[in-house]
Amino acid sequence: MEVGMESMAASIGVSIAVLRFLLCFVSTIPLSFFWRFVPGRLPKHIYSAFVGALLSYLSFGFSSNLHFFVPIFIGYASMLLFRPRCGFLTFFLSFAYLISCHVYYMSGDAWKEGGMDATGALMVLTLKVISCAINYNDGLLKEEGLREAQKKNRLIRLPSLIEYIGYCLCCGTHLAGPVYEMNDYLDWTEGKGIWSTAAKGPWPSPFGATIRALFQTGFCMAMYLYLVPHFPLSRFTDPVYQEWGFWKRLGYQYMSGFTARWKYYFIWSISEASVIISGLGFSGWTDSSPPKPRWDRAKNIDIIGVEFAKSAVVIPTFWNIQVSTWLRHYVYERLIQDGKKPGFFQLLATQTISAIWHGVYPGYIIFFVQSALMIAGSRVIYRWQQGVPPTKALVKNALVFMNFAYTVLVLNYSCVGFMVLSLHETLASYGSVYFIGTVLPIVVILLGFVIKPGKPVRPKARKEQ
């Protein structure tokens, strides 16, 4: 069997560890489908927990489940014993454990060399236990003054231990996400809320949406396998790269970022298929006549939205969508003081938390600080755009294109740090294009203090920012 896996891994150009993970990951699709036929609430929770733990063992070995036990224990013990502070305790203790695992395993280097470990799944689990604890904390608060997301997700009662473990290890989302809420998991398992058959009859068929996600998976895999040999990350340290001119180096940075994104599109498309076929991906009905089912809960990427984003501000709504939503609800919005508008501090703090969540490499930190600058600069261009009167369509269209070009340039420049990770390689690659992706956002932000846009031409500008 090991010989067979070696030949299979060699044929697609991956390590045995990666192949083992991919086989387990793809198996979440049929295993999530079989969940639908498990009778009763308790058996469904047991099935979710057991299958998640089994796939972890097959993917990463026995030690992975020991690692997962730590944040699971932290979250449940905090909710059970320290409810008024359980959100705070779970957030900091779970993040501390995740960071210690990042430091110990230094997974980024292993992933670049074809290795695999459990820290990716641990990252997803960390967000789950934190959101559950914070929502249980919110259950002590009065609804008045709470945001809509808080009202929807707050937990009045403590989930049972098996409900909690089933939520944490649910096989369709455990290995690579997406992140979702405890209330949604309970409603899905118990057939309540939008999953209630009393409202609109039986659950909608998931097969059409699953097939679409599988076609997307195949296309993304083909794109990645085709592109990656042509744009290897090792080229950034190759002497030939330094011999190229400025525009060719900038173009290579764009193609490197473009290539790397297809790997994530591929992984998240598998997750999408798995969550859809289980029924958890169902997110309600459209307002059309007749109504059609929506499957947004499973959606983690919008490929067209990312590649053709008109503004850096909208990228979080297209890329790693569920984690972006988590960061908005549990970091960004909770840093806003009552009566005040969010500013650069909330944005930078959110991006810093995101960087730490990914790992402790300098490339991650630099990338997410860059992202904060990129979004702040894009907001300035957007405000200029909104201040242009309709009679000056040419100027307005020029600013729209400027924001698009700015986003493409700065995003793919910044992506290099996320890919190469080390401080030396990140600074060398940025320096090879004269730090244009860092200088440009700073210049735009400073110009925003000088060039003040007029009042928006509409009574209420579209809330894109």
Contact partners, residue 436, CB within 8 Å, separation at least 6? 250, 409, 413
**Strand intervals (E) in 283-402:** 284-285, 293-294
Strand partners, 285: 293
Pick the catalytic residue from 67, 102, 358, 424. Answer: 358
Q: Is 45 a catalytic residue?
A: no
Longest dimension (CA), the chain: 70
415: closest CA among 402, 429, 405, 403?
A: 429
368: closest CA among 380, 381, 358, 382?
A: 358
Counting every residue written for the chain, the total comes to 465
Cβ count within 10 A of residue 442: 13
Q: What is the DSSP string of 239-279?
A: HHHHHS-HHHHHHHHHHHHHHHHHHHHHHHHHHHHHHHHHT
Cβ count within 10 A of residue 264: 17
Q: What is the DSSP string of 90-146?
A: HHHHHHHHHHHHHHHH-HHHHHHTT---THHHHHHHHHHHHHHHHHHHHTTS-STT-
How far is residue 331's CA from residue 354's CA, in Å, rounded to a whole number? 10
* Active-site amino acid positions: 358
